[in-house]
């Protein structure tokens, strides 16, 4: 695999790196870490995200160089996609690329990844895309500078909610320790990328919690685009509200529906084992991880809500039955 990457890099002249829309810490961490690695190797490159980089990630090196679209005047011969489960996640940054499309290296950790690249480095056991990048950089003899370490640690900290999620292993913590040894500041990164949120985000949480419902193991809420405007909340991402709802002990699955300006509805899903929201997301045209996934549904919001509640309720029923069958077999066996 590493020889394939080396070979594609050797042939490349101008590299485009794209991460997903509604970027999180792993998206911007992976994007800026890859940019710094390419810089160290002497490449010409452009970093792109089809949504604004959230202000809380502005401490990351190269974050102010991230563009919304590739430079149309330049011909890119290599595209590195980071933290994207499928091509659509790159938004117009990818959809608008002229033909011929560049050679694609797809680096990601989503279990639902569609292997859309010419080279696919997809490891669903990795807790973040930056964890995969850390291994790749070492194999490519890239020096893990303090700045690269900050970018990589940002992805680890945000995708594991501060090393608290189910997939965290001793290896994850060893990677984090390596990055701290390289100069990354865990306290700072955690505060900046995980804890800090805008006041408008708290207003959205208030709106969402005022309107929450709980039925058949599912807890959910929805936010209209007007409520978003009134709160001054510009993103269409649920930024933490779904995690908060998912901690309700009587619930097994949580969902937040957020109506976008154009009327489509962004859905964010969470659950606890043995449930699996990636299954629900894929059924509805999205993707993600077993315990954290998402999709975008057509509006109006009320119809999207009905569709989603039905899918989640059916999944809870199906997955409960499957879990009971496994438990019964274990007892019998």
DSSP code of 281? H
| Chosen residue from 16, 17, 27, 48 binding Mn ion by CB under 5 A | 27
**Helix segments in the chain, DSSP class H:** 2-11, 25-40, 92-95, 129-139, 146-159, 170-181, 186-189, 199-210, 225-231, 241-246, 277-283, 301-332
Nearest to 148 by CA among 158, 134, 160, 162: 134
| Chosen residue from 289, 305, 315, 316 binding ligand AMP by CB under 6 A | 289
Beta strand pairing status for 253-259 and 265-271? Answer: antiparallel
Q: What, of Mn ion, ligand AMP, none, does residue 27 touch, CB below 5 to 8 Å by kind? A: Mn ion
| Secondary structure of residue 48 in the 3-state scheme | strand
Instruction: For residue 297, say if its preceding peptide bond is cis, omega within 30 degrees of 0.
Output: no
Buried b (16+ CB within 10 A) or exposed e, 317-328: eebeeeeeeeee
Please identify which residue in the block is written with the tokens 């009905």.
306
- Smallest separation (angstroms) from Mn ion to the CB of 277: 15
Nearest to 118 by CA among 105, 129, 107, 127: 105
- Smallest separation (angstroms) from Mn ion to the CB of 246: 17
Cβ closest to ligand AMP, residue 38 vs residue 204? 204
- Smallest separation (angstroms) from ligand AMP to the CB of 141: 30
Candidate segments 31-39, 199-207, 218-226, 281-289, binder of ligand AMP by CB under 6 A: 281-289
- Smallest separation (angstroms) from ligand AMP to the CB of 21: 8
Candidate segments 56-64, 127-135, 176-184, 292-300, binder of ligand AMP by CB under 6 A: 292-300
- Smallest separation (angstroms) from ligand AMP to the CB of 30: 12
Binding residues for ligand AMP restricted to 9-38, rule: CB under 6 A: 22
Q: Please report whether residue 131 would count as binding Mn ion according to CB under 5 A.
A: no
Binding residues for ligand AMP restricted to 76-95, rule: CB under 6 A: 85, 89
Q: Which residue is nearest to ligand AMP (CB)?
A: 294
Query: Is the Cβ–Cβ distance between 58 and 28 less than 8 Å?
Result: no
Q: What, of ligand AMP, Mn ion, none, does residue 287 touch, CB below 5 to 8 Å by kind? A: ligand AMP
Q: Please report whether residue 237 would count as binding ligand AMP according to CB under 6 A.
A: yes
Binding residues for Mn ion restricted to 262-281, rule: CB under 5 A: none
DSSP code of 193? I
- Smallest separation (angstroms) from ligand AMP to the CB of 257: 11
Query: Is the Cβ–Cβ distance between 86 and 116 less than 8 Å?
Result: yes
Cβ closest to ligand AMP, residue 155 vs residue 288? 288
Counting Cα atoms < 13 Å in the Cβ hemisphere of 327 gives 7
Query: Is the Cβ–Cβ distance between 112 and 287 less than 8 Å?
Result: yes
Q: Please report whether residue 26 would count as binding Mn ion according to CB under 5 A.
A: yes
Candidate segments 18-26, 53-61, 211-219, 257-265, binder of Mn ion by CB under 5 A: 18-26
Ordered DSSP codes for 212-256: -EEETTEEEEEE-HHHHHHHT----S-TTHHHHHHT-TT-SEEEE
Q: Which residues bind ligand AMP (CB under 6 A)?
A: 22, 85, 89, 110, 237-238, 242, 268, 286-289, 292-296
**Which residues of the chain form contacts with Mn ion (CB under 5 A)?**
24, 26-27, 83, 129, 159
């Amino acid at each position: 695999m590493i020889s394939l990457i080396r070979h594609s890099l050797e042939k490349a002249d101008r590299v485009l790196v794209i991460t997903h829309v509604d970027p999180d810490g792993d998206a911007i961490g992976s994007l800026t870490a890859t940019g710094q690695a390419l810089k160290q190797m002497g490449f010409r490159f452009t970093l792109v995200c089809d949504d604004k980089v959230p202000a809380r990630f502005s401490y990351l090196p190269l974050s102010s160089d991230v563009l919304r679209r590739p430079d149309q005047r330049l011909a890119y011969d290599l595209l590195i996609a980071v933290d994207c489960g499928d091509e659509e996640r790159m938004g117009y940054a990818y959809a608008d690329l002229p033909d011929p499309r560049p050679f694609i290296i797809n680096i990601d950790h989503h279990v639902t990844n569609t292997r859309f690249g010419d080279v696919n480095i997809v490891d669903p056991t990795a807790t973040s895309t930056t964890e995969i990048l850390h291994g790749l950089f070492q194999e490519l003899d890239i020096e893990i500078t303090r700045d690269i370490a900050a970018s990589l640690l940002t992805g680890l900290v945000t995708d594991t909610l501060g090393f608290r999620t189910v997939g965290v292993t001793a290896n994850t913590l060893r990677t984090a320790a390596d990055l701290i040894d390289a100069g990354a500041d865990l306290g700072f990164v955690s505060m900046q990328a995980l804890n800090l949120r805008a006041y408008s985000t708290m207003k959205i949480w208030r709106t969402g919690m005022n309107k929450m419902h709980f039925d058949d193991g599912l807890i959910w809420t929805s936010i209209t685009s007007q409520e978003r405007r009134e709160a001054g909340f510009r993103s269409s991402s649920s930024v933490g509200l779904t995690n908060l709802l998912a901690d309700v002990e009587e619930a097994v699955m949580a969902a937040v529906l957020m109506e976008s300006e154009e009327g489509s509805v962004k859905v964010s899903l969470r659950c606890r084992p043995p449930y699996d929201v990636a299954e629900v997301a894929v059924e509805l045209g999205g993707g993600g991880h077993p315990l954290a996934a998402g999709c975008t549904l057509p509006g109006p919001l009320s119809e999207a809500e009905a569709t989603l509640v039905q899918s989640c309720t059916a999944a809870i029923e199906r997955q409960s039955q499957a879990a009971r069958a496994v438990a019964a077999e274990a007892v019998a066996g």
